[in-house]
Amino acid sequence: MRLPVLFALQLVALAAAASAAEAAATFSSRMVHRLSDEARLEAGPRMGLWPQRGSGGYYRALLRSDLQRQKRRLAGKNQLLSLSKGGSTFSPGNDLGWLYYAWVDVGTPTTSFLVALDTGSDLFWVPCDCIQCAPLSSYRGNLDRDLGIYKPAESTTSRHLPCSHELCQPGSGCTNPKQPCTYNIDYFSENTTSSGLLIEDSLHLNSREGHAPVNASVIIGCGRKQSGDYLDGIAPDGLLGLGMADISVPSFLARAGLVRNSFSMCFKEDSSGRIFFGDQGVSSQQSTPFVPLYGKLQTYAVNVDKSCIGHKCLEGSSFQALVDSGTSFTSLPPDVYKAFTTEFDKQINASRVPYEDSTWKYCYSASPLEMPDVPTIILAFAANKSFQAVNPILPFNDEQGALARFCLAVLPSTEPIGIIGQNFLVGYHVVFDRESMKLGWYRSECRDVDNSTTVPLGPSQHGSSEDPLPSNEQQTSPPVTPATTGTAPPSSATTNRQMLFASSYPLLFLTMSTVFFIS
């Protein structure tokens, strides 16, 4: 007589498992580095001379936007969703300030836009009913679809956001509650702005697990007028904000119950990656809470307790830092930078050499046959959480393309706030869990980037989930080169050199501090 009961219980268990599987779904998009070979092929001959990887020009191009950014900081169904075209991304623009793009589909019928991805701003805007926008004609022929202009009047699902809407702030210049709400974003880059009207329309998303496509209602900036760098090829087809504000796309997706209030990014050493909407990472990941910056919890900032170089952890080296995957190179507050570089220079067994680019102060001689061991660099957080920087150096090549020198890719900040930039994030899956208000991370090879049917929800492929901190008993621990961090030592100098070159081309993911206000 117990068999029917047991069978019923089994059915209940199977149903619960199926429900849990659906709840684990996420939305994802593949990322490709702007200066990668794939991006060069997509851009075609119009781009002219492409910076050679490992050259001084290559790193100066990446540094260009970083130096500007340091002057000012801030600005139902739980599935995984992806943006248009399976999440494939690349960068066809003619400026190096914005590095990662993704196709998005908006409106009914749909119009496609190649938007820059920005974790440091909030509003999703596209060129629309233009008064002053970047010319798009030069991109035709280099992409598999033309860049678009948004025309709300031609979308049957669009409507103007009225001044009475809660996201149109009071006192923004509205004289009538039914009047269309306007916006104006003033970016830090000199005279770079976007302004226009706020529109509510559909953003079309695809499910990672083969569920039906999702049409999410979001607020879009109808960008009628751009200025500054936007007219010179930076984000010519718009920008997708990933910030914390209620008006950002992740906020809309979470409030609608489509995904968990979280997204993540994984970073491969070959300059590709993917963004996952709704992903909260894995149970084995490390995490640390987001903290208020200048008294406000409005950006992805964390507390760093101390920095460890090789066998020594620096006392008094705590600081707050933005986790900014759009900044190429990590920067430290001035006092921390001084202690950090002094200790690094003391431990590295290499001859220090001057470099013509005055930006890099700590450069050392090297060759393809002789690459000195680089001290490990670990950032420590509260509760003994930490991660080891995978790519803390820049290798520079000579005119023949051979390794000639390398520099420590850490810069002094102009403020008492640091930035954990993309060169420290390569090799990790980084989780921006806005539901728990935590940053999570775990080692990952991002294997699903080229296999959209597999979500990387398994444990780390690099063994231990934590990077052990140096202790007084570990004074003789051997240093590890960034190329071999977390892996078995290479068997030859050639292998070491190849891995070093591969590790020198990290992902850069756009983040620009903005001041957003409704005008």
Q: Which residues are catalytic?
A: 118, 324
The Cα–Cα gap between 387 and 389 comes to 6
Helix or strand or coil: residue 57? helix
b/e sequence 248-280, b meaning 16+ C-beta within 10 Å: bbbbbbbeeebbbbbbbbbbbbbbbbbbbbbbb
* Cα separations in angstroms, 338 against 70, 270, 375, 519: 17, 31, 16, 43
Which residue in the block uniquely carries the two structure tokens 């935590």?
438
Helix (H) or strand (E) holding 427: none
The Cα–Cα gap between 286 and 281 comes to 10
8 Å CB contact between 122 and 247:
yes
Nearest to 372 by CA among 476, 477, 481: 481
Helix (H) or strand (E) holding 298: none
Nearest to 57 by CA among 302, 356, 454, 277: 356
* Cα separations in angstroms, 205 against 88, 114, 199, 211, 439: 13, 14, 18, 11, 25
Single-letter amino acid, residue 454? T
Neighbours of 40 (CB within 10 A): 15
